[in-house]
Structure 1
Amino acid sequence: MMVEKERFIKADAAQQEAIASQFFTTARTVRSALNFETNSPFAKTLRAYALNHGCKLYEVKLVDNPYDKVVTL
Structure 2
Amino acid sequence: MGLMNTMPAPEDVFVAWLMHQPRNADLVVAASAEVARLQSYASHPGAKRLHDLFCALIREKKASARPQSSQTKQ
Q: Assess same fold via TM > 0.5.
A: no
TM-score (norm 2): 0.29
Higher helix residue share: 2
TM-score (norm 1): 0.29
Determine which structure has more spread, i.e. the larger CA radius of gyration: 1
Higher strand residue share: 1
